[in-house]
Structure 1
Amino acid sequence: MRRRFDLLPREVGEGDPEGVEGVLLEALNPTMSAPKPTIRRARSLRRRLTPPEARLWMALRRKGLAGFRFRRQHPIGPYVLDFYCEAVRLAVEVDGLRHDFGDGPERAELRDAWLAERDVRVLRISATDVRDDLDGVVRTILAWLTSPQERA
């Protein structure tokens, strides 16, 4: 059985996301669905949330935040977002210490730029804030969800 993507010309080497193939696949895939390896990674990450992610998930799940639906460890393109609300195209990322060192900041910047090109806004929250002030974190997310000026 052939998938519709099998019919595309392969002008660049297989798996080259920056080449023509990646552009064509994205043009046919406006929902930004992820490749199979990213989906597998997201499934694995769902089974092993960090303690701050698990704590925030308890507040966001089951439309627990003003009726907005969030997905946890949501695969989008080549990335896995900690939490994603499709209705307002908001990604909520819980950043631990590893995001502050090495190539973490650079990788986060590239990822945020990729998401911004697709009109996905990224709200970064420190894991310490989730641990120490969950109510404040939830108020921040809620303000972003319900206030138009926060979306600009």
Structure 2
Amino acid sequence: MQETLSRWLESNAGDCPFVEHPAVHTIDEALIHVPAMPGLMVKNLFVRDEKGRRHFLVIVPFDKRIGLAALGRLLPSSKLSMASPERLLQHLGITPGAVSLFALIHDSAQAVELLLDQAVWDADSVQAHPLRNTATVALSHAAFVDFLAHTGHVPRILNVPAAI
């Protein structure tokens, strides 16, 4: 799939800034190791509902702390918790640290629901790992929309509640 994403990026986002960097697993590490580049730095969480039937990729600005309980109340009967690394690999084909919107390329079954914070949707461009945490791409809003069309994912755009 890495090759499939690489081809898509070349064809559809070729002029988007791309940087290689040391592996990063957290926002704190990214702030140290990812060189300054355009686009909103984001935080990506892979969560599941209480029964493990629904899975969500939640994308918010990097400095927003997510209130999972409050977010769960916005979704029909969903008490949310972090999904396991095994579920992450099963549904998005990646390991912790590499979570980003690009992992949706592995979700051909449309089993993962995409929840975007309004600020992410409104950004001119966003930063994302291209299926590995040793590189970052600054994807324009237009390319972001094209990528979602390519994967068939329709985002739910909302004001993700912040943790108190």
The TM-score normalised by the length of structure 2 is 0.32
More helix by share: 1
More strand by share: 2
Larger Rg: 1
The TM-score normalised by the length of structure 1 is 0.33
